[in-house]
Every structure is written in structure tokens, then in C-alpha cells.
A and B are shown apart, each in its own frame.
Chain A
Amino acid sequence: MGKYERLIFFLLLAMGLLPPLLTDYWERVLTLSLMLSSLSLAQNILLGYTGYPAFGCVAFFGIGGYTTALLMKDLGLPFWVSLPIGGVVSALFALLIAPPLMRLKSHYFAITTLALQLALGELVANLEFTGGAQGINLPIYVGPGGYLIFFYLFLLLTIFAFLLNVYVERSTFGYALKAIREDETAAETMGVNTVLFKSVSFSMMALITGLSGGVYAYWITYIDPTSMFDPLLSVKIFVALLLGGVGTVAGPLLGAFTLEFLSEVLWGRFPKVHGVVLGLLIVLIVLIIPRGIWRR
């Protein structure tokens, strides 16, 4: 790890000391910021380093969340067992669909992943065993730490996602991904097995996104297709990533925290035009800082 990366790593660790100083409100804001951080860091591996924009990445948020919830509710498995399974199911599903899906590039890939997200949402809403449109109720967490546990879970997940990003930034594995981003045919010509590498990158994104969905499901205790396959969440992930700086390890974190805090302030001041302001923000980012705050 380089100097900046170590600094960020320790800042994240230090965040673990914050909760005693926080009110419930700020604890919630920080938990949401960390959730968005983990999701943006996940997308950064795919979009930032591999060049594939999975605009419907929330599909994996839903898969992870629903798998975790169903294992808990139907099989009575504890959360600590269900969550990792949820992540793995999400990652495996990604690995399975990547080879055909990733023959598409840029806009086409983005739109197809979005279609996947919407289709899965509809499927879940109409199937019996997923609870249909009524959704699933989960037991409220009553173990040690109370609701603070979710702050720490998202913090751990963010640290994990951050370390994966650092690994991609510095390893030969990451070189292959960057080569695919810069010029896929050229990477192939160099002897890089592009199908394998981009599939693994897609799967890494799905793993973190799925775990994030699992934690979220238990946190809010009630999930339904609208909340778990929410297209607006996809938008938020991309805005955070673009705002922070895509293809850097610090950018996604910076973007997620800035956006979440900004969002809180705006939500309070302008509850009715919140969406308009978010839209204006996207326009401004693209016009003024197209490469984000933290540039590559």
C-alpha cells in the first residue's frame, strides 16, 4: 500500500471509534454513507478498472438481500451464516452470466444490466416463495451492540471493498483489468484471457454488492422488490462514483460520503425538490469535474 492508501485505511479503522460520540441520527447517516461507499467501491472495480458500467448493479444487491432473508426466514439459518451465502450466490450468479453478458460493451452493457435488475425485481414480485410484492419480514436484531452492529458491518464491508480496490490498483491481476479497460482487443493480443478476467471482475463487484444487500436487508428488517431492486440506488452509486473520481481507490469513498451528506442536508431543507437538486448535481459534475474530485 502507498502513503495515501495507508492513510485512508487508518481513517476507516478510526471511524470505528466514532459511535460513542454520535447521536442516533448521525449514526444512521454514517451507516448509509458506508453502505454507499461499499457499493461504489464495488462498482469501481468493474467500471473504474475494467471499463464496464453495470448500471443495474443493484440486481446483485437484491440477490444478496433476498438470499440472506430467505435463508433466515425459511431455513431458520442464523444471519452470520446466511449473509456469506447470500454474497457467494450473488458472486456465482455474476460469474455464470458474465461470459455472454460481457460480450456487450459500454451503453449496451449498461442497459442490459439495468434490464436484468428490473426483470429480477418483477420476478421476485411475482413469485410465491419470495413473498411476492408483500415482501419479507425479518426478526429485529437484538444481540450485542444493538443497531450499532450494522454500522460496524458496513464499515467492515467498506474496508474489505477498499482493500480489494487497492489490490486491483497494484497487482498484475489489476493490470489485466486496466488493459481490458484501455483496449480489450489489444489485451487479448497480449495473451490476456479477457473473458476470464472481466468475468472475475464482474463477480467481485457482485460479491461486495450482494453482501451489502444482505446487511441492508437485516438492518431494515423488512424487504420488498421495490426497495431491494431500486433503480434510484443504481443512480446514486454512479453519481457517488463520478463525483468522487472513477478508477481511483479514494474517489468512491470521497464521492459516497460527500453525496450522502449533501443528500441529508438537501433532504432536510428541500424535501420536495430533492430529486431535482440531485439531477442538477449530476449535470454540474459532468460539466465542471467530469473526472471527479479525486482525479486519476
Chain B
Amino acid sequence: MRLLEVSDLEAGYGDVQVLRSVSLHVEEGEIVAIFGSNGSGKSTFLKVLIGTLKPWGGTVKFMERHVEDLPPEERVKLGIALAAEGRKLFLGMTVEENLLLGAWVKKEKAKENLERVYSYFPELYEKRRELAGDLSGGQQQMLSIGRALMSEPKLLMIDELSLGLAPAVVDRLANILTRIREEEGISMLIVEQEVSLALDISDRAYVFDLGEVVDEGRSEDLLRRDSIRKTYLSVL
């Protein structure tokens, strides 16, 4: 089943249009990557999907239901979650408080989900009483993803997965995400600048440029495509 179907989405800030007729879909259980240079509209796209930015036109269907006019809290209830760019943590609150806030729309299952998140990220359990602001970059990214998992999403969106992280940490995160998909069948939409990583962990990928989808396909095919290798992987 199509979990997410976006058609002809247009959006921007003030008078400046950022997204131009973007269409994209995510199947159930699929990991889809979006990559492209800075300013290509990737983060704006995720903001429209979670509902903190209103689209100018086009439709967003989640589980066959139109969601483009719903406020963020309704979308989170339906099963969309976002681990935002720059992690957007509540820095003055503890790790556990951050996680509990992630369970805002699923308070009754907060305990259960806390254990589930701690099982994926044991270091968060060790640091549960510490302030989110005192964590390392990698741990903060884990917390951001863990917090998004607390609402039991069907679609987990991650903005800039590897930003500012050491390669070893990125590898671990990628492994954990793959594990989460295998064990729970959660679909993911991952925005990533590091193209080799994006294509490595995803089933399919979309290439954004200046607010448009300029290329798309199965990740393994894109990896072999000359245009992609030249532009994004610096392989001649």
C-alpha cells in the first residue's frame, strides 16, 4: 500500500517559492532517501509534511487520507514523526523528559516505548537523567530519532541524518535504522547530504534541485548512473 503520496506540492516562504510541483511517494516498509545540494528544498519539504509550514498547493495523502490541512498534532497522531534538522532538542530538559515529550500523543504507551527506544539506544538509558544539552552530537542525534520513535510512527522522517557526526557514529545509526525497519516495518523518509550513505541505506531515492525533483529511481540503479556519480559522488 502507498503510505505517503505527495502530488504537485508547491510551497515557500513569503514571496519566495521553494518547492515546485514536487511529487513523491513512500510505500509501506520502504526507506526512501532525498538528496540534493543546499537550498534545494529538502528541509522545506519535510516541514510541509509534518505541518509546521503550510503548502501553497498540491496534495499530501497519508494512508489514503488527505492531510495537507491538518495541524501537526493530528499528523503525529496519524503516524508521521519528524527528527528535525539540527536535532531541535529541548536542551534544558533531561534525556528522559525529551523522550516523554515525544510520546505526547501516545502517553498511555510512554513506558513501553521508553524501553523500546532504550533497547535501540542503550547509551540514552545511561544518560537518561542528564540534560540533552550535555550530550555529544551523536547521542543528540540518537535522542532526536528516539524521541520521534516515541509516538510509534508509521513514517519516520529524518532531516540531515549525518550532519556533523563522525563516520563511525553514522555507520552505527545507519545499522540501527535498518534494524528498526526490519523489526517493526517502519517506513522512513531520510534527507541526507552524503549521497553514498543515502543510497546505501535506502531502497529508492529522489534527487532535489532548486525545489524540483530532477531524478528518482531505485538506489542501486542511481548508484550506477553516470550523471549521479559525476555530480554527487565525484567519481569521474
Q: Give me the interface of A with B, judged by CB distance under 8 Å.
A: 172, 175-176, 178-179, 181-183, 185-193, 296
Contact = CB atoms under 8 A, between A and B. Distances in A.
A76 B88 CA distance: 54
Interface string B82-103: 1010001111110001001110
Contacts of B73: 188, 191-193
A186 B104 CA distance: 12
A204 to B, nearest CB: 20
Contacts of A181: 92
A152 to B, nearest CB: 37
Nearest to A192: B104
Given A175-B97, A185-B52, A185-B84, A190 B104 contact: yes
Main secondary structure of the interface of B (DSSP, over half): helix
B89 A183 contact: yes
8 contacts: A176-B104, A183-B89, A183-B90, A186-B89, A190-B105, A191-B76, A192-B73, A193-B71
Contacts of B102: 190
Interface in B28-82: 50, 52, 71-73, 75-77, 82
Contacts of A190: 76, 101-102, 104-105, 147, 151
Given A190-B151, A191-B151, A185 B88 contact: yes
B104 A183 contact: no
B107 interface: yes
A74 B34 CA distance: 68
Nearest to A247: B92
A190 B76 CA distance: 7
A189 B90 contact: no
B52 A182 contact: no
Given A186-B90, A190-B151, 7 more contacts: A175-B97, A178-B97, A182-B89, A182-B91, A185-B52, A185-B88, A192-B73
Nearest to A296: B92
Nearest to B132: A182
A185 B104 CA distance: 14
Contacts of A179: 90, 93, 101
Nearest to A186: B88
Contacts of B52: 185, 188-189
A188 B71 CA distance: 9
A188 B72 contact: yes
A41 B206 CA distance: 52
A70 to B, nearest CB: 39
A183 B72 contact: no
B33 to A, nearest CB: 21
Given A193-B71, A193-B73, A182 B104 contact: no
A172 B97 CA distance: 10
Interface in B138-171: 147, 151
B74 to A, nearest CB: 8
A188 B70 CA distance: 13
A294 to B, nearest CB: 16
B105 A191 contact: yes
A172 B110 CA distance: 12
A292 to B, nearest CB: 15
A189 B151 CA distance: 11
A230 to B, nearest CB: 33
Given A188-B72, A190-B104, A191-B77, A178 B93 contact: yes
A104 B130 CA distance: 31
B77 to A, nearest CB: 7
Given A175-B97, A185-B52, A186-B84, A191 B104 contact: yes
B153 to A, nearest CB: 11
Q: Which of B52, B84, B100, B101 has the most CB of A within 10 A?
A: B101
Given A188-B52, A189-B82, A191-B77, A183 B88 contact: yes
A178 B90 contact: yes
A167 B31 CA distance: 42
A176 B100 CA distance: 10
A175 B100 contact: yes
A187 B82 CA distance: 11
Q: Which of A178, A183, A186, A296 has the most CB of B within 10 A?
A: A186
B195 to A, nearest CB: 26
